[in-house]
Structure 1
Amino acid sequence: MPAPGTPLDQLGFLTIGTFDPADPGPGHEATLAMVEYGEQLGFDSAWLRHRHLQPGISSPVAVLAALTQRTRRIGLGTAVTPLAWENPLRLAEDLATVDVLSGGRLNPGVSVGPPMHWDDVKGSLYPDTADREDFSYARVERLLRFLRGEQASTFVGREGVVEEWSDRVQPHAPGLAGRTWYGGGSLRSAQWAGEQGMHFLTSSVVKAEESEDFAEVQASHVQAFRTANPTGRVSQGLVVIPTDTATPEQRARYAAYVEARTPRTTAPQGPARMLFARDLLGSAEEIAEALYAHAGFREVTEVVFALPFDLAPEDYEQILTTDTATRLGPALGWRPAA
């Protein structure tokens, strides 16, 4: 294994929180328990990914509200919330409420662009305004203004006997806007996020603009962001599956998962020329060596490792606990939080 560089400062994990559509309760409970366990293991953050109209968490903010009452230290984030599905004013109220409940631990991650399968959902999502909705960066700017406490209404004061109206989002959560991240996969997104004073979540899917080498592209995004915002935080996102303590059955299951996903990583995909990161599978030592050789990883001191989809709770426990928290993390210079 090569000599480590700067020790890894922050180690987090990401889940989509899969569940059985016929009985969604146990899957949601398993997600809550996983994050609780992650806090006990010393992980710095846990992130939930939006999955609209799929058997994955469709409302991370609601799940994070529950987690504020079941955790005390671990950072809680979304990676990411697609703002095309959201009203920025209403989302600002929800985020501020969860941040207050968490004691200032929320890290909202957002992105822009039209909703996936736009033609199929626009009639339900925006039946009267689909042709006028703005899915550009301006949607993020609106959210940031509301989170900062800027004006949301022209009316303020008392109405009637007891109703007090504010001209800004309530509750106001000081510092929340400064903990907002942008999840981007293009050079322009990285630059724009830095210019807005946001933090930056690098994606496991990027545009093959300046190169067809994923690691090179990811590194260029981090560099572009830091040029625009030298003090902003950057977190790298990859799927990482350490297998040190996995059973033979688990190793076979993980290998099949990676094999099924590998063909899409060999070349840019589709008209947009999207590049997918390779999943990293192997022992903690092998993964650490691969990461130290990864141009994107060499640019960061924070990572959020994405958990594979559709595994069993015991698989996630093995990946998170014995291997990531006690083997891979320390191999990268990370130490669990007290």
Structure 2
Amino acid sequence: MRAAELIGPQTFRLVEMPFEDPAPGEVQVRIEAVGICGSDLHAYSEGAVGSTPNVYPMVLGHEPAGRIVKTGAGVTGLAAGDRGALEPALYCYHCEFCLSGHHNVCANIRFLSNPHHPGFFRELINLPAANFLPISDRMSFDEATLAEPLAVALHSLRLASIQPGETVTVIGAGPIGLLTIAALRTARAARIWAVEPLAHRRELARGIGADVVLEPGEAVEEILRNTGRRGVDCAIDCAAGEHTTSQAIQMTRNAGRVVLTGIHSTPFVSLDGSAMRRKELTIFNVRRSNHETPEALELLDAHADWFAPLLTHRREIGKIDEAFAIASGYRDAVGKMIVRP
């Protein structure tokens, strides 16, 4: 089985890896498409994801879709040829966090694409049958790769309890920010601002549902002016830049909410603590998703036209270096880059 291993900063190699038949309760899946995620880009460019350093060699990729090749003993309801999105998180289901419903912070989680847990930039994988989510015949594999990041966006809105008629700013119109804007449409947000430095991403944001798109330098003052100095009900930081979290705090109303969805490059970040305290803001931290993937697939299936413009680039796994170079450098008006093993 062929796989792409990250073996050092910005360096991949293609290798052959041994492979076995699926165990009881597992399905063997041929990977057809994998999206490049922002956390993949952190690992590629920075050698770490937040405070978690890379351990080389490692196989990245956790936004996969594929087709079942064979099933293990005891698997029912699934068969060779079935198409689906794949859930990359393996939970223990018995720790205190799983038992309380917080599976995404499972004490014993194995998240495929983290160090020591190879991800999906490879041809084949064996997974528990429960981690295979069938997709409709009209959904492409490329579209299905959006299920994992869209589930994260839906989880962020669930955490923040976004209500119909509320005003929301999304900072950062990369893939996760764009998917957050789409999720806000379904939540019936009254007005959505998108803040993004890149012109092509501002246009993508407008196309997927942002009412107003702004460059970062004008964002705080413009949003305050347009809300009568009140601020938005909620600001969602999908960029996790040097100043974006403080911007989110500054543009949010008193007793509002700030959601941190993006991953900062450093473990310690500066915040406008004075404004945060003075406004008595609630800060939500997003840790992936928590069983929102079925909802994400329903949304993708119902509104394929919303999401098609995000899927801008595709490369075969033999050109994974090129794929990551384009995605990490925001080159060629890239939205979402798909790798095909």
Q: TM-score, normalised by structure 1?
A: 0.27
Q: TM-score, normalised by structure 2?
A: 0.27
Structure with the largest fraction of strand: 2
Structure with the largest fraction of helix: 1
